[in-house]
Amino acid sequence: MVSQQFLHVGRWRCYANLNWDLQRQSSLRVWYTLRPASTTTAVLNDVLNNKRYIKFKLFEMDMSEDEMEEDEAEWKNSFVDSVPLSSPATASVSGPSHSKTSGPTPAHRVILHFDLDCFYAQVEMMRNPALREVPLGIQQKYIIVTCNYVARELGVTKLMSVASAKEKCPQLVLVKGEDLTHYREMSYKVTELLMSYCPLVERLGFDENFMDVTKMVDARLAETQVSNNLSFKGHVYNHFSADVEASDHPSLALGSHIAAELREAIHSKLGLTGCAGIATNKLLAKLVSGSYKPNQQTTLLPENVSDIMGCLSSLRKVPGVGHQTAKRLQALGLVSVKDLQLFPLNDLVREFGGPTAQRLRNLALGVDDTPVTTTGAPQSLSDEDSFKKISSTKDVLEKIQELLSSLVERMQKDGRQPQTFRLTIRRYSATNKWFSRESRQSPIPNHIGHKITSGSTGDAVIQLATLAMKLFHKMVDSSAAFHLTLINVCFSNLQTRGAATSGKGSITSFFTHSTSPKKTQIFSTQSQDGSSQSGDIHLMDHQSSAHSVITQHATQKTAAAKSPCSSEAALHGFKIEQSPDVAGEDPPLQEVSCPLTRSDFDETNKSGTRRLPPNVDPEVFRLLPEEIQKELLSPAYSSSLPSSSVSSGKVVDVPNITENKSSYSLTDSPNFKDIKEPVNKLDPSNRPTIANNHSPAYVSVFPGENVIGEGRLSSHQSSDCEFPGSVDPKVFSELPPDVQRELMTEWKQQKPVLKTTSFRKPGKGSKTKDRKAAGKSSQANNLFKYFKPA
């Protein structure tokens, strides 16, 4: 989220801390520290979206370290100065988006949080409807991990021991839930269903999903002209049905409608009920979603943020504050959310370090800028079992083989090839240290890895088992007594095999295999869009996309059985689609998914990219405000800010030339001017509904025509937003396709760098992050393997 970088221009050195919200691409906060001649420092706080002013703060360089820290902390605080502190008075002053210059980011995101009701129990009740009538508990070992609502009314709770559950409720029916296969499959069905409406879906565990529906909402807003007397679906936190305030919060109101429709879709297509929360960020959406349970939804309005935060009984209730953090906070004397809100940030920084401190404080304030990131396929697959005692190597081997055979089978269905194997154990020890685990990992030799994907699973299990035993002996001296209570086997570093290595008919078989290619492409382009922050508004006809995707799964599965190359086929399908010259027929919709401030941003690029002084990283330079760029470029710049002209501690407010009070309005955004298709309605009545235990794959088949259109639009979107401002799209379109692609991947790789990690040292780079991001998007191609037809 925050990246730091510097550039040298003559005798100036400019440090820039960037906090860029990639999700909205509308919030760019830049903090520059200019250090001319080591005598003065200029701190520049630039908020490009709503604040629309630039503040210079100049002070002497020779201030003490403490003073520096204090100033830094103060400056950081300015980021959250619009946050409603617990008193309603301050909230009402700074909360609304009225032209108060002091109030940044009304954060017009609309985030949904879905939370399925007693998920494991619901799955079991679908598998055996007779269980609906009885109190049902899902048992893992000696724990009831969840139970249905019949059981809850009889006093059974989550994570209760089997003994006390039976005591409370003797007629409790127990179903073993250690095998997660069915839950995992149903879980991915839910995620996939949500993704078919909007690819920006992030999983949290098996039963929760976040979804960023901002663009969907904005599209509806533009379409309906806000006119209709819209109301909220479901509950509104701390409001009664009497008051109608929907017109004050049209985005959230529309979000509540979308949430209701998606919950209905989940119910009609998958037979599952659940809760939803609607709010402006993930933290709040999650907190509010559980307000009314089960099977209800709640919207949180910005003016009630302090209410819901204040209502939390302890810091531990804040998502992101776990046991350890709560303890450390308690050691500082902090127990309530309000305590943390009011605690001096400097002290917090001392305890937790800068980033964590700021994060914790923001959490307490209900502030959460983290974007919804498409989860895609898992990055690791693991299988584990716990037990009372294993103390012989023979038993260890048997257990490992048992775990491996199910893990290898799952891995094979996935299609990717694991590069790393890890064995984890938990030893019994009297000293409270039950929880700590130890692990050893090693690379998987290629020939073994290949046996997994190619289907020689028996061989693979045997060889992996010997590998695992080697790792085991690195941890445990088997000549002495040992006592294990858990074994875990894990595949990670999952790689999609490239077509080049598998020469045999990856692409050709892909294209000759009748209908599946296009459908595969659809899904892959969608997921790619999701991870590249492009919009969802191109999903005009979700029905066709959802169902074609589902149908695709069945076909792809059979294809996978025939050829081991289905996944790279999907990947290549995407790459080909991605190539801009394929897009040909329709006029490009360049502006459609480009947020307003993006163009502001790019204009600074234009002015800056030529005739830079040597030694200047153009990437960094581009990010500077135009004024600064001009200044640095002007021949007189090096003498224009001599130390003599800097007065100590002086604060100067400079109105931004782009300031425009009306420019904030949603409808002003160029995003939606050129939308030519009607915006997607989620009207459930338009869709076929099915009985509970049926897979949608068998219900209906939609024609594939608009599939092509969507794919093309997707490819446009995935490219357009990446254009640096200095690039003329016309010129770009005339370049050879491969050059275009190369440029695009280059730009694409540069963008996440800003978001995640520093590139102070250009050589050091952010390879791991990039690799991970790339892996994520390609893994998304495989996501459909995580659910299969009944």
By CB under 7 A, is residue 20 in contact with DNA? no
| Residue 445 phi, psi (nearest 5) | -55, 145
By CB under 7 A, is residue 145 in contact with DNA? yes
CA distance 747 to 394: 54
By CB under 7 A, is residue 435 in contact with DNA? yes
| Residue of the chain from 37, 85, 180, 507 that contacts DNA (CB under 7 A) | 180
Strand arrangement of the beta sheet that strand 27-34 belongs to: 2-9, 12-21, 27-34, 40-47, 53-60, 650-655
What dihedral do alpha carbons 76, 81, 84, 87 form, nearest 10°? 100
| Residue of the chain from 178, 581, 677, 746 that contacts DNA (CB under 7 A) | 178
CA distance 464 to 466: 5
Q: Which stretch binds DNA (CB under 7 A): 264-272, 439-447, 462-470, 591-599?
A: 439-447
Comparison of 249 and 426: residue with beta carbon closer to DNA? 426
Q: Which of residues 108-127 bind DNA (CB under 7 A)?
A: 115
Q: Per-residue contact track with DNA, 337 to 356, x per CB under 7 A?
A: ------------------x-
By CB under 7 A, is residue 458 in contact with DNA? no
By CB under 7 A, is residue 331 in contact with DNA? no
By CB under 7 A, is residue 500 in contact with DNA? no
Q: Per-residue contact track with DNA, 557 to 586, x per CB under 7 A?
A: ------------------------------
The CB-of-257 to DNA minimum distance in angstroms stands at 25
* Residues sharing a CB contact under 8 Å with residue 137, sequence separation 6 or more, in sequence order: 121, 144, 146, 147, 151, 156, 162, 165, 172, 173, 174, 175
- Residue 592's CB: how many other CB atoms inside 10 A? 24
Comparison of 184 and 450: residue with beta carbon closer to DNA? 184
By CB under 7 A, is residue 427 in contact with DNA? no
Whether the CB-CB separation of 602 and 608 falls below 8 Å is answered with no
Listed residue (550, 564, 190) closest to 414, CA to CA: 564
Comparison of 164 and 247: residue with beta carbon closer to DNA? 164
In sequence order, what DSSP letters do the residues of 671-703 get, joined into one string? GGTT--SPPP---GGGS----TT--GGGT----
By CB under 7 A, is residue 764 in contact with DNA? no
By CB under 7 A, is residue 379 in contact with DNA? yes
Comparison of 417 and 488: residue with beta carbon closer to DNA? 488
671 to 215, 427, 538, 596, 674: CA distances (angstroms): 9, 57, 12, 7, 7
Strand arrangement of the beta sheet that strand 173-176 belongs to: 160-161, 143-147, 136-140, 173-176
By CB under 7 A, is residue 240 in contact with DNA? no
Which tokens hold the place of 493? 């570093």
Comparison of 434 and 698: residue with beta carbon closer to DNA? 434
| Residue of the chain from 87, 247, 439, 515 that contacts DNA (CB under 7 A) | 439
CA distance 442 to 474: 11
By CB under 7 A, is residue 434 in contact with DNA? yes
| Residue of the chain from 318, 390, 484, 583 that contacts DNA (CB under 7 A) | 318
By CB under 7 A, is residue 311 in contact with DNA? no
Q: Collapsing DSSP states into helix, strand and coil, what is residue 183? A: helix
By CB under 7 A, is residue 295 in contact with DNA? no
* Residues sharing a CB contact under 8 Å with residue 78, sequence separation 6 or more, in sequence order: 45
By CB under 7 A, is residue 78 in contact with DNA? no
Comparison of 60 and 385: residue with beta carbon closer to DNA? 385
637-645: list long-range contacts, CB under 8 Å, 24+ apart.
637/9, 637/10, 638/10, 638/11, 638/12, 641/34, 641/36, 641/42, 642/36, 643/36, 643/37, 643/39, 643/40
By CB under 7 A, is residue 697 in contact with DNA? no
Q: Which of residues 200-219 bind DNA (CB under 7 A)?
A: 204-208
The CB-of-314 to DNA minimum distance in angstroms stands at 12
Q: Which stretch binds DNA (CB under 7 A): 129-137, 141-149, 238-246, 656-664?
A: 141-149
Q: Which stretch binds DNA (CB under 7 A): 176-184, 443-451, 568-576, 689-697?
A: 176-184
| Residue of the chain from 87, 386, 392, 454 that contacts DNA (CB under 7 A) | 386
| Residue of the chain from 97, 441, 509, 750 that contacts DNA (CB under 7 A) | 441
Q: With residue 191 as reference, give the H or E element that holds it.
A: helix 181-195
By CB under 7 A, is residue 375 in contact with DNA? yes
| Residue of the chain from 41, 196, 251, 373 that contacts DNA (CB under 7 A) | 373
| Residue of the chain from 13, 35, 57, 440 that contacts DNA (CB under 7 A) | 440
By CB under 7 A, is residue 324 in contact with DNA? yes
229-234: list long-range contacts, CB under 8 Å, 24+ apart.
230/254, 230/257, 232/256, 232/299, 233/257, 233/259, 233/260, 233/297, 234/259, 234/260, 234/276, 234/292, 234/296, 234/297, 234/298, 234/299
Number of residues that bind DNA (CB under 7 A): 50
Give the rounded distance of the alpha carbon of 201 from its chain centre: 7
Secondary structure of 496-527 as H, E, C letters: CCCCHHHCCCHHHHHHHCCCHHHHHHHHHHHH
By CB under 7 A, is residue 437 in contact with DNA? yes
Active site residue 710: no
By CB under 7 A, is residue 159 in contact with DNA? yes
By CB under 7 A, is residue 320 in contact with DNA? yes
By CB under 7 A, is residue 533 in contact with DNA? no
Find where tokens 């559980």 sit: 290
The CB-of-756 to DNA minimum distance in angstroms stands at 7
By CB under 7 A, is residue 2 in contact with DNA? no
Q: Which of 124, 202, 208, 577 is catalytic?
A: 208
Strand 274-279 with 297-299, pairing = parallel
Residues forming contacts to DNA in the complex (CB under 7 A) are: 115, 140-143, 145, 159, 178, 180, 184, 204-208, 286, 318-326, 355, 373, 375, 378-386, 422, 434-441, 474, 486, 488, 772
- Would you name the residues annotated as active-site residues? 208
